Chains A and B, each alone.
Chain A
Amino acid sequence: MSQPQNHAQRSDLFLLDEERTTWHDETLWFVRQKRDRAVYATPEFQELRQLASDIKDHTLSRLAEYLEQFEDAALANGVRVHWAADAAEHNRIVLGIVRQAGASRVVKSKSMLTEECHLNPHLLAHGVEVIDSDLGERIIQLRDEAPSHVVLPAIHLKKEDVGETFWQHLGTEKGLTDPQQLTEAARQHLRAKFLAAEVAISGVNFAIAETGSVVVCTNEGNADLAIGLARVHIACMGMEKLLPRLSDLAVFTRLLTRSATGQPITTYTSHFTKPLPGRELHVVIVDNGRSQQLGRPDFRASLKCIRCGACMNTCPVYRRSGGHSYDFTIPGPIGAILSPNIDMRKHASLPFASTLCGSCTDVCPVKIDIHTQLYKWRQVLGAEGMLPASKKYSMKLLSRVLARPALFKAGGAAARLGLRFVPHALSHAPGYNPWAIARELPAPPKQSFRDWHAAQAATPAPTV
């Protein structure tokens, strides 16, 4: 098969391994169920979602002011604030800080933003060793893969895959598959990296305008360990991560992990406000397309995302196609509404990688109308002429038929007649009819309803 071009083709590759697809689906459904139990046990959960949504809407509506307030507070705390309009500028700034520190060893905790900016290749190309310290991130870094989920970056891998990777790179025993032992091997391997690192890079879950703090949430403790040891901490944040007040964190910390994994809170919810004397805290504020998305009224709500991954866990498509099928840093439903803003043509198939079932919208802790935005992106793509030609012209034809009852009646009769008399092998040929790869077409009745109705002499109601 040539290089897959769209989500459907990449999904078909994933689906080839039926058993693995089942496993992937069931594993993520298990996470969704853990989320459900946590949600059901929190009576005010729906109220919290509304509050979170309102706080984010408010913050986005005054984002410039809050960015300035945050900067003022951070500067007063002795934090150095940097502004990056795009990924390249972000990478230049980070590399500059690393060089300024005279450092060559960097440990990085989880940050989807640095993935989005492709920071690692940039640092590596300039002679800086950068080690991802989150276990899942480290696994995929060793395998030279992209994360397939925002919270569970290695969820596409099985323990056998991890065992093989650790055997190759960390010298563990061949055939080791016990998660406990594999994790222990990673702990030993990464301890040395933590102790040696001169610079710690982290992402930012929330930034607080009133205090100038950045908040980082992890379960492993990798961010706190690295930051606590390294002389320089660089926190990379998308500009939409702001919250007005410290107390707003109550709403968001209660929602984040319950939505993500069903935990009541992450193990470490850490607030970095002031660097110690002799140490440095840098915050890099990144735009990279966010202000453009903010200017799209139908899509700006996508910037409310807190990266919990709940929409991925619940998405029946994501669970069966895997994160890599989206070919974008943020996969799943939220990725499908963020990606066209970045590159409409490249990601044109993603808004169509959904049945619009709406479950994503219903689990979203900040009430992003994800499935509505998917629908609206489809219209934008249609208007911009980015639909496949087959879809474009068949829909125009269909519209003409459906606006003309006589054509519709004749067309329907012809289709039913066709189905009844064309041999099954032809009507169900997979090359012509994707429906029929796994499904029978409906058995065509002799008579449509309208024919039946017309034939009823005693139709009680008048017709128009």
Chain B
Amino acid sequence: MKVALFVPCYVDQFYPQVAIASLQLLAKLGVAAAFPKQQTCCGQPMANSGCEQDAKPVYHHFVDTFQDYDYVVGPAGSCVYHVRQHFDIIDQTPAVQHVRTATVELFDFITQVLGVTEIPGRYPHKVGLHLSCHGQRGLHQANESEMTPVRDGQLRRLLAGLDGLELTELDRNDECCGFGGTFCVSEAGISARMGQDRVADHLRHGTQVLTGGDMSCLMHLEGIVRRRQLPLRVLHAAEILNGALA
């Protein structure tokens, strides 16, 4: 099985530790992931801004970069969702079709492809899980409150399986954090307010470590946490799971 690590552009530049943790976590689970260094970005920032046509060269570059791999694994539900969902505007060559289905979110890969549903390890903290909308509603990685009162999902289960880890229960389990890509600057006021409300929900319920599967949401929430100097650590779930797994 030939696996590539897809490192979203902002993770590469600002959160290298998340990509490192993803790589190491995969290695511990027996997968030696390659890092094709030609990779840049999925093109979502342009497309979400209404410039899908401008994103086409980026889409082609993405496909060229990853077409020789069986799986393209990324620690970011939103970017993965974009590749799978929105690469439909370029010619659907076999390579494009392959890359769209082969691109998988990190925890989908671990649980669905590798079949690993429990990671042994210890993490004695109160952890608040932030569900990324594209991961949850787009990739169906977790139950949705619009459909059912049962709060469940694969990342929730992986985290809950760690010794000593206590998941905090929020008032609003799956409210959007307000990042929204370029929304975070074009609608900066609402975006910030949404993030502040999300962080407040976590603080109210005792979250010590705020985590999730999508670093873009977490980058936004971390920005608020740091501005307000709040007692919260923000970590990608790959960092927690990699750290806990011997």
Question: Does A438 lie within 8 Å of B50, measured CB to CB?
Answer: no
**In chain B, what residue has the closest Cβ to A371?**
B137
List CB contacts (< 8 Å) of B164-189 with chain A.
172, 174-176, 178-189
Q: Of A7, A39, A353, A399, which contacts B55 at CB under 8 A?
A: A399
Question: Does B35 lie within 8 Å of A402, measured CB to CB?
Answer: no
Evaluate whether A434 and B50 lie within 8 angstroms (CB atoms) in the complex, with A356-B180, A402-B40, A449-B19 already known: no
* A296 close to B (CB within 8 Å): no
Q: Tell me the bound Cα distance from A383 to B3 in angstroms.
A: 37
Cβ of A391: which chain B residues have Cβ within 8 Å of it? Answer: 49-51, 182, 186
Shortest CB-to-CB span from B96 to chain A, Å, is 16
* B93 close to A (CB within 8 Å): no
Evaluate whether A435 and B40 lie within 8 angstroms (CB atoms) in the complex, with A412-B9, A452-B16 already known: no
Question: Does B41 lie within 8 Å of A402, measured CB to CB?
Answer: yes
Taken residue by residue from 325 to 361, chain A's Cβ proximity to chain B (1 for < 8 Å, 0 otherwise) reads as 0000000000000000000000000011111111101
**In chain B, what residue has the closest Cβ to A22?**
B197
Q: Interface size for chain A: under 10, 10 to 19, 20 to 34, or 35 or more residues? A: 35 or more
List CB contacts (< 8 Å) of A405-463 with chain B.
405, 408, 412, 415-416, 434-435, 437-445, 447-454, 459-463
Q: Tell me the bound Cα distance from A401 to B54 in angstroms.
A: 11
Question: Does A399 lie within 8 Å of B57, measured CB to CB?
Answer: yes
Question: Does A408 lie within 8 Å of B48, measured CB to CB?
Answer: no
Evaluate whether A363 and B40 lie within 8 angstroms (CB atoms) in the complex, with A355-B176, A396-B54, A463-B35 already known: no
Cβ of A352: which chain B residues have Cβ within 8 Å of it? Answer: 50, 183, 186-187
Question: Does A460 lie within 8 Å of B32, measured CB to CB?
Answer: yes
Which of A78-86, A130-138, A248-256, A316-324 lies at the binding interface? A316-324
Taken residue by residue from 4 to 41, chain B's Cβ proximity to chain A (1 for < 8 Å, 0 otherwise) reads as 10010111111111011001000100001111111111
* B246 close to A (CB within 8 Å): no
* A120 close to B (CB within 8 Å): no
Cβ of A404: which chain B residues have Cβ within 8 Å of it? Answer: 40
Question: Does A450 lie within 8 Å of B46, measured CB to CB?
Answer: no
Question: Does B227 lie within 8 Å of A11, measured CB to CB?
Answer: no
* B204 close to A (CB within 8 Å): no
Cβ of B190: which chain A residues have Cβ within 8 Å of it? Answer: 8, 11, 15, 317, 320-321, 353
Q: B interface, by DSSP: helix, strand, loop or mixed?
A: helix
Q: Tell me the bound Cα distance from A404 to B9 in angstroms.
A: 12
Question: Does A403 lie within 8 Å of B57, measured CB to CB?
Answer: yes
Q: Of B27, B43, B144, B223, which contacts A439 at CB under 8 A?
A: B223
Tally of B interface residues using CB under 8 Å = 86
Question: Does B197 lie within 8 Å of A25, measured CB to CB?
Answer: yes
Evaluate whether A359 and B137 lie within 8 angstroms (CB atoms) in the complex, with A383-B53, A396-B51, A438-B196 already known: yes
* A161 close to B (CB within 8 Å): no
Cβ of A448: which chain B residues have Cβ within 8 Å of it? Answer: 12-13, 16
**In chain A, what residue has the closest Cβ to B197?**
A25
Shortest CB-to-CB span from A31 to chain B, Å, is 14
* B219 close to A (CB within 8 Å): yes
Cβ of B45: which chain A residues have Cβ within 8 Å of it? Answer: 395, 398
Q: Tell me the bound Cα distance from A357 to B220 in angstroms.
A: 15
Q: Of A321, A354, A403, A460, which contacts B183 at CB under 8 A?
A: A354
Q: 9 shortest A-B CB distances, which residue pairs?
A: A355-B180, A439-B223, A382-B50, A438-B192, A461-B34, A378-B50, A434-B188, A357-B176, A362-B146
Enumerate chain B interface residues (CB-CB to A < 8 A). 3-4, 7, 9-17, 19-20, 23, 27, 32-41, 43, 45-55, 57-58, 60-61, 65, 68, 86, 133-134, 137-138, 144-149, 172, 174-176, 178-197, 219-220, 222-224, 226-227
23 pairs from A and B in contact (CB 8 Å cutoff): A36-B146, A39-B147, A46-B147, A353-B190, A354-B180, A355-B133, A358-B137, A358-B138, A359-B133, A383-B53, A391-B49, A395-B46, A396-B54, A399-B57, A402-B40, A403-B58, A408-B41, A412-B9, A434-B188, A435-B185, A442-B15, A450-B35, A464-B34
Given contacts A391-B51, A437-B189, 11 further A-B contacts (CB under 8 A): A353-B190, A354-B183, A355-B179, A402-B9, A403-B58, A415-B13, A437-B188, A438-B195, A439-B226, A442-B10, A464-B34
